[in-house]
Amino acid sequence: MTHTITGTMDGRGLRVAVVVARFNEFVTRPLLDGALDTLRMHGVDDDAVTICWVPGAFEIPLVARRLADTGRHDAIVCLGAVIRGATPHFDYVSANMAAGIARAGYEAGTPVIFGVLTTNTLEEAIDRSGAKAGNKGRDAAAAAIEVASLLRQITAD
């Protein structure tokens, strides 16, 4: 007989940290608003949410790792917007940020969720932060709840 463990979308009792980049704040602020609304909708208590602003996406992994190492959060949600048109640094910032976020989660053993937009244009970033193509902050918050719940069940089983 198979044994399936599925994460639930019940966020009650979960403690979540959000790391959000100030760079391109007109995009990252709606990502944050979407993430916070989704956490609330799924029962995560406002008092259980910690928000850390960082200068840009490049700084996200370090702060996410430090938060994960405290052991005080069930998941870390990373939010930012790296837009190709805005910088010749796009490739360096996005590659290091993505690898660092993945590494923080794998090494700390806490879900570190990738909610950073990497887009070719400003328009694409706006579309993905609440306009035409959903809100990546909401998606990231939902993923945080699901994976934190899944890990809890695996550990409890």
Residue 19 within binding range of ligand INI, rule CB under 6 A: no
> Which residues lie across from 75 on neighbouring strands?
16
Six-digit token string for 151: 């890990």
Q: Looking at beta carbons only, is 24 or 38 nearer to ligand INI?
A: 24
* Among residues 23, 42, 126, 141, the one that binds ligand INI under rule CB under 6 A: 23
Q: How far apart are CA 51 and CA 8, in angstroms?
A: 23
Active-site annotation holds for 3: no
Residue 18 within binding range of ligand INI, rule CB under 6 A: no
- Closest approach of ligand INI to the CB of residue 15, in Å: 25
Strands (DSSP E) along 25-97, which ranges?
A: 49-54, 75-83
Q: How far apart are CA 4 and CA 40, in angstroms?
A: 27
- Closest approach of ligand INI to the CB of residue 89, in Å: 5
Residue 114 within binding range of ligand INI, rule CB under 6 A: no
Q: Looking at beta carbons only, is 126 or 147 nearer to ligand INI?
A: 126
Q: Looking at beta carbons only, is 21 or 77 nearer to ligand INI?
A: 21
Tell me which residue has its CB nearest to ligand INI: 56
Residues in 26-85 at the binding interface with ligand INI, rule: CB under 6 A? 55-59, 80-83
Q: How far apart are CA 78 and CA 76, in angstroms?
A: 6
* DSSP-based three-state secondary structure for 60: helix
Six-digit token string for 134: 């959903």
Residue 124 within binding range of ligand INI, rule CB under 6 A: no
Q: How far apart are CA 73 and CA 70, in angstroms?
A: 8
Strand 75-83 and strand 49-54: the pairing is: unpaired
Given the rule CB under 6 A, which residues bind ligand INI? 21, 23-24, 55-59, 80-83, 86-87, 89, 93
User: What residues are annotated to the active site?
Assistant: 89
